[in-house]
């Protein structure tokens, strides 16, 4: 794959998703396990070994069962919907992450988990992996997940989440790779995306706007992306104040965004 092209494309279709993404799924994400899938003994052993960071056993089980997907599916998940890869990320086990990626585990929304854990090395490896596997014109791994089995709503992009965590290092990595800022549409926007999204689930629609503004209020994101951080912070706080009156039922949420931004910018 052409490297500069992939870097440019990677994450670049984030713009606008903050709002339009809400229309993709009308239901809230659930934490329940996928329908009645029962783990076999080998899969239990596999997930437990991954949880313990036992790379040798994980490798052995996968090799022994590579012709028996009915005994061990590398993508199997525990009752909390955690795959071996998610366990490796939560335990910050880089060797295990690499092993699982080499052996072809589906990454799904693993990148978002790594960002949530603020695990910089994991984020880098998963981004490199995504560049290798991503096909132009296709959704990225974290966009293609089954929403009923994801802990993240569709409007949460890697950049939005990194901004919520206000993690400077991860934000820089994503921006360097071409991630773009969320662009919330106006509250009264009448574009097709907004109308559909609002009709499908108006709460979700408002929540995605709040998520986008919370991201834009990240002091690290402002510092990294704005030529005039103080002016940006000032303009943003005006916009947030206006939204507080227009969307008064979300007053508190907008206030939180404003506080985060002001606490950090004014000192
Ligand atoms: Zn719109």
Q: What is the structure's pLDDT at 244? A: 86
Distance, CA 191 to ligand 1 centroid (Å)? 4
pLDDT tier at 13 (50, 70, 90 boundaries)?
Answer: very low
Alpha helices in 92-136 (DSSP H): 94-102, 110-116, 120-133
Cβ atoms within 10 Å, residue 147 = 16
Distance, CA 127 to ligand 1 centroid (Å)? 29
Condensed to tens digits (0 to 9), the pLDDT of residues 207-225 reads 999 999 999 999 999 999 9
Distance, CA 35 to ligand 1 centroid (Å)? 35
| Block residue for tokens 């986008």 | 212
Distance, CA 113 to ligand 1 centroid (Å)? 29
pTM, to two decimals: 0.82
User: Token pair for residue 142?
Assistant: 């974290």
Q: What is the structure's pLDDT at 146? A: 86
Distance, CA 80 to ligand 1 centroid (Å)? 35
Mean per-residue pLDDT for 234-257? 86
DSSP state of 145: S
Distance, CA 183 to ligand 1 centroid (Å)? 10
Distance, CA 204 to ligand 1 centroid (Å)? 14
Distance, CA 212 to ligand 1 centroid (Å)? 13
């Amino acid at each position: 794959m052409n490297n500069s092209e992939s870097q440019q494309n990677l994450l670049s279709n984030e713009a606008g998703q903050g709002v339009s993404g809400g229309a993709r799924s009308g239901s809230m994400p659930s934490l329940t396990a996928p329908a009645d899938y029962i783990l076999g003994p080998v899969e239990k052993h596999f997930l437990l070994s991954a949880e313990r960071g036992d790379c040798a056993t994980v490798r052995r089980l996968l090799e022994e069962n590579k012709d028996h997907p009915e005994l061990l599916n590398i993508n199997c998940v525990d009752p909390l919907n955690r795959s071996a890869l998610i366990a490796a990320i939560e335990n910050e086990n880089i060797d295990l992450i690499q092993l699982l990626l080499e052996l072809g585990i589906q990454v799904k929304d693993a990148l978002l988990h790594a960002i949530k854990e603020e695990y910089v090395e994991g984020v880098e490896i998963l981004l490199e992996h995504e560049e290798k596997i991503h096909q132009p014109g296709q959704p990225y791994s974290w966009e293609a997940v089954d929403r009923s089995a994801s802990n993240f709503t569709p409007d949460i992009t890697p950049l939005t989440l990194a901004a919520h965590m206000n993690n400077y290092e991860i934000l820089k990595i994503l921006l360097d790779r071409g991630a773009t800022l969320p662009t919330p549409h106006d509250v009264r926007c009448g574009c097709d995306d907004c109308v559909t999204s609002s009709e499908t689930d108006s709460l979700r629609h408002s929540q995605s706007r709040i998520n986008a503004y919370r991201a834009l209020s990240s002091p690290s994101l402002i510092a990294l992306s704005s030529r005039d951080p103080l002016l940006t912070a000032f303009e943003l706080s005006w916009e947030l104040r206006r939204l507080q009156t227009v969307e008064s039922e979300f007053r508190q949420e907008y206030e939180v965004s404003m506080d985060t931004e002001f606490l950090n910018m004014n000192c």
